[in-house]
């Protein structure tokens, strides 16, 4: 009889404790939408300068990104053009930074081929100096993430 009363009291106690836990609720907020014309969305504040190759210095501001990626792809094509190995076939996703002094540093290289990883590291170690990014007139570190296809 004591076991049943003990079991019953434990059951009542646990059911009471279970109900004592109240889920937090987030109050509903009304959000007013405002129409804005000519919104420019960018990751880098307008008026600031992204990193660029020396060859892109005279290019208009609107075409600097295209110029950067053009010279970036040209660099990798030239580096791998002389290498016709079968192992140099695939893709690599790379994350790199352009440092305050304009040097380039590979942070991460995701690929299925160790040969491509070594080739990307080798190429990034010999990457030419760039004009660094600027924010409020001072050089800053800037990160890029891109995919490179080798074939």
Per-residue three-class SS string for the chain: CHHHHHHHHHHHHHHHHHHHCCCCCCCCCCCCCCCCCCCCCCCCCCCCECCECHHHCCCCHHHHHHHHHHHHHHHHHHHHHCCCCCCCCEEEEEEEEECCCCCEEEEEEECCCHHHHHHHHHHHHCCCCCECEEECCEEECEEEEEEEEEC
pLDDT digits (tens, 9 = 90+) for 89-135: 788 999 999 999 999 999 999 988 888 898 889 989 999 999 999 99
pLDDT digits (tens, 9 = 90+) for 49-99: 899 999 999 998 889 999 999 999 999 888 877 665 666 778 899 999 999
- pLDDT at res. 61: 85
pTM for the full predicted model: 0.63
């Amino acid at each position: 009889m004591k076991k049943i009363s003990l079991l019953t009291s434990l059951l009542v106690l646990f059911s009471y404790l279970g109900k004592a836990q109240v889920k937090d609720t987030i109050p509903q907020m009304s959000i007013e939408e405002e129409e804005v014309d000519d919104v420019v969305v960018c990751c880098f504040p307008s008026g600031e300068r992204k990193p660029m190759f020396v060859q892109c210095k005279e290019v208009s501001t609107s075409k600097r990104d295209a110029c950067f990626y053009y010279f970036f792809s040209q660099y990798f094509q030239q580096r791998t053009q002389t290498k016709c190995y079968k192992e140099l076939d695939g893709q690599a996703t790379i994350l790199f930074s352009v440092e305050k002094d304009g040097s380039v540093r590979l942070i991460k290289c995701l690929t299925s081929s160790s040969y491509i990883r070594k080739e990307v590291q080798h190429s990034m170690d010999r990457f030419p100096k760039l004009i660094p990014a600027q924010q409020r007139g001072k050089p800053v570190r800037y990160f890029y993430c891109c995919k490179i296809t080798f074939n």
